[in-house]
Structure 1
């Protein structure tokens, strides 16, 4: 009985577990990667920061060789250094995680208010 309760808690906890990504990031697609040189994200080339870290969809740190084997146009969450403009952290996203982030960070449609009627 005790084992069943622990198993239920573990399964329920993993179903709601979501990886914490920093809010100061952007969604994009990794088009190309050159180890220690540059990354191409959404058609724009960024220099790779000396401490660039790239994580897979489960949160494990990837080596440059593993990144080179990643599929082209992979969905990512990334951060650019403010001072240098270098890419410094990249997270590969799973399909479900990408869809959730895309929905959460979608730009709202522009809505215009109707003109107020002037009283005469």
Structure 2
């Protein structure tokens, strides 16, 4: 799945709007998708290689590819909501370890990110 950043909204800054890390008009590969019980949808995107992939509100992006990575699994949350992404990333303490820059978690992230990116039709054609 690939999205294009639409640019910052004309409102007060929000950490989920991506204005400080994304370039308007640029496309990004979606690494996870979180459909929250409140109706919002968050996308896990790595703004640039080596930066920590964060969750950003989907309202600031438009979908440009509907290819679902074969590595994605689904987790339903007890309070409602659905997570789609690599199973190892969706369970346990994976993202806490990434925030601590734990080497094994970073190696896992890079390997899975590269597999997801390799399945992206735009990445394959370039």
Superposition TM-score, scaled by structure 1 size: 0.28
Tell which structure's C-alpha radius of gyration is larger.
1
Superposition TM-score, scaled by structure 2 size: 0.27
